Structure 1
Amino acid sequence: MSNFRTLQPTKLLVHGFNDDGKCRWVKLTRDSFLAMEDVNVISLDWEALAGMDYFEAASNSRQVGFVLGDFISLLVESVGVPWENLHVIGFSLGAQTVGHAGHYLNGQLPRITGIDPAGFLFHTSPEEERLSKEDAQFVDIIHTAGLWIGTDEQIGHVDFYPNGGKAPQPNCENEDIGLGCSHQRGPDLFAESITSNFSFRAVRCTSWENFQSGLCDGEQDNFLGNSANPQYPGMFFLKTNGQSPFAIDHEK
C-alpha cells in the first residue's frame, strides 16, 4: 500500500458471483475514478468463495462481508482513513456482500452503492440479511435486471430504475435466461456516470408506467451513479441509450 494516500477518498469495489477482483467492471470503474479524481481504489477479491455453487456463494457473502467490515475498521482505526472518505460499491452478489459489511459496522459507512444487487435468495430475506438503507448513512441502488437476477423492490435511500429497472435493457432484447446483458448494464452505467459529460438525470416517480406517461414530469430529479444526491430520497426513473454513451444528452 505504498501508494495509498490516507486522507484521499477511498473507493472499495466488490465483485459478485463467479467473478474476481480484476474483472471487467472493476477495471472499468477503477480507471474511470482514477481518470477524474485523486483517489484510492481497492478491489476485494473473494473469487475462491464466490466462484462455486451459487447457494454456497450467497451463504459465503455474509462472512466475506464481515471480513470486509474488519478491513474497513483497520483502515479507519490503524491507517487513519476518515470515515467520511469511504465509498463502498458492490455489484450483484457483491452488493449483498457490502450490505453485510455495512450491517457489521452498524451503519457507520457514509455511502454504499449497490449495483443491481443479487435478488435470488435475497428477495424475501429480512433487512439484516440483505442490503438495505440501514447499512450506511446513504445507500443508492441501480436496478437493471429486477424480478429475477437482480432486485426490483426499493431497498435504498435512493433507488434508480433505468428503463424500468428490469430486463431487457435496451439492446439486450435477445439475451438468454441468465439476463447477463441487462445485469451487466448496471456497472456500465455507474462507470460512465463518473466520467460522462452528460448526466443520468432521473425523475422521482411511483412507477415506470407513470414515468412513461409523463405523469411525473416536473417532479424532483436526481442523478444516477456517482453523483447521486442523498438529499432527494425515493424511486427515480430514467431512459438510457442502448450503447455507450448510455447517458442521453437532454440538450439536443
Structure 2
Amino acid sequence: MKFTLALLFVSLAYTATAVPIDEAAISRNDLEDPTRDFPEGSREDVDLDLDGEVDEELLQGIAERNLYLLFTRRNPTAAQTLIINDANSIRYSNFNPNHPTVVIAHGWLSNQNTGINSLIRDAYLGKGEANVIVLEWRRLAISNYVTAVRGVPIVGKGLGQFVRYLIGVTGARYEDIHLVGFSLGAHLVGSAGRELLGRVSRITGLDPAGPLWVLNSNRLRTSDARYVEVIHTNGAYTGLGIGSSIGHADFYPNGGSFQPGCLTYICDHNRAWELFAASVSYNHLIARKCSNSLQITLNTCRGDTFPMGNDDLNKYGLGEFRVNTNRRYPF
C-alpha cells in the first residue's frame, strides 16, 4: 500500500530535514497562521510506503545513537548532553532531582531543532523549575516510515533504560517523571514506560501516529504509566493520528479530526503539541466528559469538566472528553 499525501508527516512537527533551524522562526507568531510555509517546508510530498522494506542494518544499535539533551532554568536554550553509563555527565549537569522532569520525544522526520521541543520546553521553564530533556532520535526518525515504526520499540526501550540510569545516579523519583511524545514519539514513550514497568507518573501522547499502529501490540497503552493521557487532533479516517481511545483519558479537541484555522492534515496533526504547550502555560483548556463517540462528533458532551493537558504530575482521570478551542495560540 503506497500513497502520497500533501505535506504528509513533514517532520510531523514542521521539519523535513536534519538541518538545524532558527528556533525563533517557529514560535507563537507562526501558530497564528498555521498554513504558512516553514523553513523546512521545501518538500511538498512525502511517500508513505506502508509496504516498504525495513532497513534492518539501520536498526542495529539504533538506541545507542539517541541523544538526551537537558534544559533547565540555568541553561534554558543551551543544552547539556546526558549520557547513559556516564555518571559524570549527569552529576556535573544542571539536573536537579528535586524538580519535576519532563522528557519530550519528537515524531517522524524530526530532530532536536523541531518546533515541538522548544515550544514545550519554554512552556515548562517559563512556568517554574523543571528538568526538560529532549530526546533526539533523528537517526531512526529520518528513515522510511516502516523502518521507523519497526524501530520505535527499540528506541523507546533505550529511553526507558536511560531514565532508570538517571534515577539511579541522581535519586530522582519515578513519581516526578512525565514522558511526552508526539505521533511516533507517543508510541515511543509508551515503550519507555513499559520498560520502566509503568512506574512513571504520567505519559502524554500527542496525536499518536495511526498508520500501522491500530492493531500494533507496541502502541501506547494504559499500563505504560500511572496515568496515560492522549490528545487526538487528526484522527479522521484518512488522518495522521490514531482515532481510537487508547489512554486512561482521551481528549478530542474540536471533535478530534480537524482543527480550526487548519487547512492541511499536518496542521491538524501538529495542533496536538501546540495545544499541550499552551495548556502547560495556562491550564485553560477545560473539557467535558462524553458518553459516546456520537456526542464527541456532535459536540453534545455534558459530563463533568476535566482539564486537558497541563503539567500536573498528580493528575488522574478516566474516559473520553471533548474541548472546543480557538484557532490561534493559546487557543
TM-score normalised to the size of structure 2?
0.68
SS in 2 for 1:102: helix
What is the CA deviation profile of residues 167-207 of structure 1, one whole-angstrom value per residue up to 9, with x for unaligned ones? x21111x32xxx100000000000000112x6101000034
In the alignment, which residue of structure 2 is the partner of 1:108? 199
In the alignment, which residue of structure 1 is the partner of 2:279? 193
Any residues of structure 2 matched to 1:73-222 within 5 Å, and which? Answer: 73-126=164-217, 129-146=218-235, 147=237, 148-166=239-257, 168-172=258-262, 174-175=263-264, 179-196=265-282, 199-207=284-292, 209-211=294-296, 215-217=300-302, 219-222=303-306
In the alignment, which residue of structure 2 is the partner of 1:225? 309
Alpha carbons of structure 1 residues 3 and 180: separation in structure 2 relative to 1, 3 Å? same
Rg (Cα) greater in structure: 2
Contact 1:50 1:60 in 2 (8 A): no
Letter in 2 for 1:132: R
What CA distance in whole angstroms lies between the structure 2 residues aligned with 1:50 and 1:90?
Answer: 13
What CA distance in whole angstroms lies between the structure 2 residues aligned with 1:214 and 1:88?
Answer: 30
What CA distance in whole angstroms lies between the structure 2 residues aligned with 1:159 and 1:110?
Answer: 17
SS in 2 for 1:13: strand
In the alignment, which residue of structure 2 is the partner of 1:42? 133
Report the count of equivalent residues.
Answer: 237
Alpha carbons of structure 1 residues 213 and 184: separation in structure 2 relative to 1, 3 Å? closer
What CA distance in whole angstroms lies between the structure 2 residues aligned with 1:227 and 1:31?
Answer: 13
**Pairwise CA RMSD of aligned residues?**
1.7
For structure 2, the residue ranges without an aligned partner over 5 or more in a row are 1-89
Contact 2:287 2:322 in 1 (8 A): yes
What CA distance in whole angstroms lies between the structure 2 residues aligned with 1:209 and 1:123?
Answer: 20
Does 2:107 match 1:13?
no
Q: Percent identity between the aligned chains?
A: 39
Alpha carbons of structure 1 residues 95 and 231: separation in structure 2 relative to 1, 3 Å? closer
For structure 1, the residue ranges without an aligned partner over 5 or more in a row are 247-252
SS in 1 for 2:329: coil
TM-score normalised to the size of structure 1?
0.89
Letter in 2 for 1:19: S
